[in-house]
Amino acid sequence: MPYDLKELAAISGQSGLFRLVKPARHGVLVESLDAKATRTLAPASNKVSLLSEIGIYTQDSDETAPLTEVFENIYQKHGTSLPVTSKSSEAELRDFLAEVLPGYDRERVYTSDIKKLVTWYGIVSQNRPYEEASPVADADSAEPVATEA
């Protein structure tokens, strides 16, 4: 997985992304992914959405494309600098998403969703390293089998 999104979350009512630090009695302790890296308590009444569990609707009615897959496609095509911003026109944003995820559902994915995607990708690409998945590393991680002669 290129960007590790397991401990990153979006919190309803708050802008930006947050790293989950640890659970607390009345919510979860989070750290903002901005320059200040402030820690706050997200109350249990707030909706906390893990980025690793978010998907984008595709034309196949039962399927969604995981955000990790969409981020991978964006990185492969554009690296860390995007051709659009959250302030781009609706047509530019939709063309951008069609480029990185051709099968997205144009009726169920709103422009506001694409703006969030662009904003989140910018935050993640600035604050998280992109890790190439190399087949050599996968082969090296396998346990060697020892045989006795």
pLDDT tens digits, 74-100? 999 998 889 999 999 999 999 999 999
Residues 72 and 46 in one domain: no
| pTM beyond 0.85 | no
Residues 92 and 116 in one domain: yes
Residues 80 and 43 in one domain: no
Q: What is the pLDDT of residue 149?
A: 46
Identify the band that residue 1 occupies on the pLDDT scale cut at 50, 70 and 90. very low
Look up the CATH number of the domain holding residue 117. Answer: 1.10.10.1650
Q: What is the DSSP letter of 53?
A: G
- What share of residues in the chain are helix, strand, coil (percent, to 5)? 35, 20, 45
- Inside any domain, residue 138: no
Please, what is the average pLDDT of the chain?
Answer: 84
- Inside any domain, residue 70: yes
- Inside any domain, residue 105: yes
The residue segments making up the domain with residue 44 are 8-50
Residues 62 and 121 in one domain: yes
Once rounded to an integer, what is the mean pLDDT over residues 42-69? 90
Tens-place pLDDT, residues 33-45: 887 788 989 888 8
The 3-state DSSP class for residue 44 equals coil
- Inside any domain, residue 134: no
Look up the CATH number of the domain holding residue 27. Answer: 2.30.30
Tens-place pLDDT, residues 106-144: 999 999 999 999 999 998 888 776 666 555 444 444 555
Dist CA 13 CA 66 (whole Å) = 23
Nearest CA to 30 out of 102, 55, 22 is that of 22
